[in-house]
Amino acid sequence: MNSDLTQQDAALQLLIGVVYELLDAHDDVARLVAGTDLEDDAAWSAHLDYQRGLQRVAREDLALAAGALA
């Protein structure tokens, strides 16, 4: 960790890392569902569409937040 970081910046970096892990876990679920009977289920399809949108927006927002730390 950079010694020039404030405690708040370090906490934000930690939070960003955790959120990326959660996004990756959602991506893993989408990949596990692909090629199964769940892929054709309307509820799962809607949920996966929601996840993909959430991932896109969250990754964009996290990139902006991480850039603010640099």
Summarised one tens digit per residue, pLDDT across range 38-56 is 878 899 889 888 888 988 8
Residue 30: domain span? 19-69
pLDDT of residue 3: 61
Domain-located, residue 49: yes
pLDDT of residue 68: 75
pLDDT of residue 63: 83
Whether the full predicted model's pTM is greater than 0.85, yes or no, is no
Distance of CA 32 to the CA centre of its chain: 17
Residues 6+ apart with CB under 8 A from 55: 23, 26, 27
Domain-located, residue 7: no
Domain-located, residue 2: no
Residues 6+ apart with CB under 8 A from 45: 39
Domain-located, residue 50: yes
Domain-located, residue 11: no
Q: What is the pLDDT of residues 2-37, one digit of tens each?
A: 567 788 888 888 888 888 888 888 888 888 888 888
